[in-house]
Structure 1
Amino acid sequence: MKSITVRQLADQFQLEVLVGEEQLQREVTKARAHRPGLEFVGYFEFFPTEHVQILGKKEINYLHALTDLERNLHIGNIVKYHPPCFIVTSDQSGLKYLKRYCEEEGIPLLRTKLRTTPFIGALDAYLLKVLAPEISIHGVCLNVSGIGVLLRGKSGIGKSETAHTLIRRGHRLVADDVVVLKKLSEQTLLGTHNEVTKEFLALRSVGLVNVVRLYGRKAFQDETRIVLDIELTKWRENELNNELELEPKFVKYMDVSIPHIEIQLQPGRDVAGLIEAAANNWYLKQQGYSAAEEFMKRLEF
């Protein structure tokens, strides 16, 4: 199971450590933060104890309104589950009782100046990415007209050269050679680089090039949602079909289904242009448009 430390979380969001400097190596393994509202009133049946606990103005004002006895009871009932940490938002103060309980139980207490809703949004997005299941595959990842494309094929088939042509046409490189795939949800696959190969493209007969230095910042982006899997293969006689609309095919990565097409290579074929067409055609289908359906309707008249 992937994890990050509370210290990494504090560094990422520049959180103020109020209590528990020595406990910042505690691990966070769950992607979504939790606001312990029901738990403060004694309902613990679905308490996600392994999640980061967020205390916004509602929670803190509620605690302030309690008597010392009630406050100690409610806080004591929560800290005994030892969540990874508590984070107080909106730079709220008056937290002596909270500090005491966190010190006694060895739980880090941190604070941010950000308001609760935007902070939780940023925190959840960050945790979702860093804790997402991931694999590395051989290929090239590109953003073609805003469409995330995974380009695969055997070594030497021409993936990087095709990527270079697409970059020259204004599209963006995400990763070459090693593509890191992160599963963000049952339907969402994110493609990114492994930091080592960031911005680099390996071209046979030329060598390693830095696309940002060659073509500017617009030639590269850090990540993209993968929505199309394209495999480059050698030309095979009499195997290309010419139907009006091809039957959909899919490939799975970590159980996420991605539309798949195969492009056969032959001298003179504009492979980069075919990839552009495939990406734009996928987008039109998402908008409900089918060229084949429109063509068939024309034949009816």
Structure 2
Amino acid sequence: MMHSADLQKKFNFKLIAGEAGLNRPINNTDLSRPGLEMAGYFSHYSSDRIQILGTTETSFFEMLSKEDKAERMNKLCRKETPCIIIARGITPPDELIDACNRKDTPLFTSEDATTNLISRLTSYLETQLAPVTSLHGVLVDVYGIGVLITGDSGVGKSETALELVKRGHRLVADDNVEIKEVSRNVLMGSPPKLIEHLLEIRGLGIINIMTLFGAGSILPEKRVMLNINLETWDRNKMYDRVGLVEETLAILDSEITKKTIPVKPGRNLAVIIEVAAMNYRLNKMGVNTAEEFTNRLNAQIKNQSLKEN
């Protein structure tokens, strides 16, 4: 859970008042500029949001009577309000400082312009408060594509990742991947701190990828874009041989492209995953080899049929 103290530390805000409330949780990614509240309209006050006061709000506030100033600031500070931030380094009104101290609402000041402050805060909050899940698998950056390798235990996920690292690609996480949904269909994967940079190879044990291959062999975070699911080759199962089958893997409320790769001795999985990543990039650029082959095949069948008739 994120608290007001975390926000102060991240953005180096200056604490003016309400120090006792620094442990207040932040649960809402939305921000609020309480302009109507300054005018006395609190019927729809979004009190659970971080409140941002800029030049407009503080200028209007100075036009109020002494009694109205105290009353508005008192209503602005509620027990569910995470914090109040004043932009542009504006000196906070005494009435606001007094209300924040009495109600333990953290009051910060920032030197940033209001719009810039809102943009930075929104981006940070959306990332930090994004829905999170964990998946069993290995996440590797292959040619700039975040490839999530999944499959049953012992199928060869970590060994394949090791081969990919040796071929110049980068490891993000082994065994357990923490995934955040920062927006619809945008998933960011990272390793738990306990196993960061580590890879488990049966027979060897746990190895440190960064120590063995250098800092260029690891990434702290990567967008998850393609799922390669490894499974033991089943002779009775029909596998896609053209590339027209569109599979997806659902993660939280998002979906990513999924490819099922059968595993048996003699198959070079690292090379297959490299090609899968490059082919994924081509597809995103509008080049679909499977469709081109199908169209070519259909045209040939049509021509042959015309000749026979």
TM-score under structure 1 normalisation? 0.89
Tell me, in whole angstroms, the C-alpha distance in 2 between the residues paired with 1:47 and 1:143: 45
Cross-structure match for 1:271: 269
Q: Is the 8 Å Cα contact of residues 192 and 224 (structure 1) preserved in structure 2?
A: yes
Pairwise CA distance, 1:177: 1.1
Q: Which runs of structure 2 are paired with 1:83-122 in the superposition (5 Å)? A: 83-122=81-120
Q: Which runs of structure 2 are paired with 1:227-242 in the superposition (5 Å)? A: 227-237=225-235, 239-241=237-239
Q: Is the 8 Å Cα contact of residues 51 and 83 (structure 2) preserved in structure 1?
A: yes
What is the Cα-based RMSD across aligned positions, in Å?
2.4
Specify every segment of 5 or more residues in structure 1 that has no aligned partner in the other structure, as ranges. Answer: none
Q: Secondary structure, in 3 states, of the residue corresponding to 1:246?
A: coil
2:18 to 14, 17, 20: 20
Q: Is the 8 Å Cα contact of residues 136 and 181 (structure 1) preserved in structure 2?
A: yes
2:27 to 17, 29, 43: 29
Identical aligned pairs, as a percentage?
Answer: 35
Aligned length: 299
2:287 to 282, 289, 296: 289
Pairwise CA distance, 1:123: 2.3
1:144 counterpart = 2:142: yes
Tell me, in whole angstroms, the C-alpha distance in 2 between the residues paired with 1:273 and 1:116: 50
- Of stretches 260-269 and 238-247 in structure 1, the one that deviates more from structure 2 is 238-247
Greater C-alpha radius of gyration: 2
Q: Secondary structure, in 3 states, of the residue corresponding to 1:196?
A: helix
Q: Which amino acid aligns with 1:229?
A: N
Cross-structure match for 1:250: 248
Specify every segment of 5 or more residues in structure 2 that has no aligned partner in the other structure, as ranges. Answer: 301-309
Pairwise CA distance, 1:117: 3.1
- Of stretches 221-230 and 120-129 in structure 1, the one that deviates more from structure 2 is 120-129
- Of stretches 138-147 and 72-81 in structure 1, the one that deviates more from structure 2 is 72-81
Tell me, in whole angstroms, the C-alpha distance in 2 between the residues paired with 1:68 and 1:148: 58
Pairwise CA distance, 1:240: 4.9
Q: Which runs of structure 2 are paired with 1:155-194 in the superposition (5 Å)? A: 155-194=153-192
TM-score under structure 2 normalisation? 0.86
Q: Secondary structure, in 3 states, of the residue corresponding to 1:83?
A: coil
Tell me, in whole angstroms, the C-alpha distance in 2 between the residues paired with 1:106 and 1:242: 62
Q: Secondary structure, in 3 states, of the residue corresponding to 1:295?
A: helix
